[in-house]
Amino acid sequence: MLPSRMDTQDTDPRAPGPSRDHLLTLLVSAPDRPGLVAGVAGALYRHDANILEADQHDDPGTGMFFQRIRFGIAGRGVEPLRATLGVLGTELGLRWTMRDHGERRGVAILVSREDHCLYDLLVRHRSGELACDIRLILSNHDLLAPVAAQFDIPFRSVPVTGDTIPSAEAEQQRILDDAGVELLVLARYMRILSPDMVDRWQDRAINIHHSFLPAFVGARPYHQAYARGVKLIGATAHYVTTVLDDGPIIEQDVTHATHRDSVEDLVRRGRDIERTVLARAVRWHLEDRVLVHGNRTIVFR
């Protein structure tokens, strides 16, 4: 049982009593051992934090412990809590991150020629579903510039060929740095990022692959699926790694296919899945619901 200040009168950071004007989310991972839950919850309690949500997972296969806690706290208590968690991290071997909900991440959407995932993300963002600031749309073509203009989002194009990858990625990185971007969303961006670029954006670049991984890695997965006569097609949102379409999976979904479906049918139906799968993955990342361990994720939905 987590020590907490939750009761029937104080389940909101704005409730009467001590001011808890900041809403934060804490993510924790550590080798499992006695005292972890009590240690983390006790640290929050000592700094007068009000726990609003708490979820955890013990993974017997790896011996790891994962936890997500959402809590309210007075602004003056945030930095002392960080210091306490730093000490606790050393004592208990914790890896942790803590983010204030008032801090909106800067996001860049990377695209090539396909616009269906881009439109979906922009509409969701405009409706308030994605808590972030979309700083720019970055592409290796000019084709989708009118979409960016329609939503009043800055658009930058940096052509990339096999011979220009180092210089092109250096220009892309300069643009991303200038825009204060913290998360890359590859919304059908049809270029492979270099190892240097992947390392720079480790666990901060989300890709949508138009198949139910690990099936049909690489190019033209719907054509591969049609050739195999599959009865299910799907889409996979995952973090980008140096191995093509092999990063930690955040979300997946499928729909049924039949022998009557053409490649065009599979593409059309697959686009619907791509939209929703990518949007869910981006939202969960923005809400600090995803912990990465090795090539796996723990997603607190």
* Cα–Cα distances in angstroms (integers) from residue 219 to residues 38, 173, 284, 299, in the given order: 48, 25, 27, 28
CA 44, CA 167: separation in Å to the nearest integer?
Answer: 47
Contact 149, 155 (CB under 8 A): yes
Residues 6 or more apart from 80 whose CB is under 8 A from it?
47
Residues 6 or more apart from 60 whose CB is under 8 A from it?
none
* Cα–Cα distances in angstroms (integers) from residue 93 to residues 11, 30, 39, 187, 290, in the given order: 30, 6, 12, 36, 19
Q: Would you say domain 22-100 falls under CATH 3.30.70.260? A: yes
Domain ranges of the chain: 22-100, 105-299
Annotated catalytic sites, by residue?
A: 245
Express each pLDDT in 218-253 by its tens digit.
Answer: 889 999 999 999 999 999 999 999 999 999 999 999
What is the token pair recorded at 237? 């949102």
Which residue ranges in the chain fall short of pLDDT 50? Answer: 1-11, 13-17
Beta sheet of 249-256, edge-to-edge order: 155-157, 132-139, 105-111, 183-186, 205-209, 232-239, 249-256
- The CATH architecture annotation of domain 105-299 reads 3-Layer(aba) Sandwich (3.40)
pLDDT given at position 19: 61
Express each pLDDT in 147-166 by its tens digit.
Answer: 999 999 999 999 998 889 99
pLDDT given at position 192: 93
Query: Does the reported pTM lie above 0.75?
Result: yes
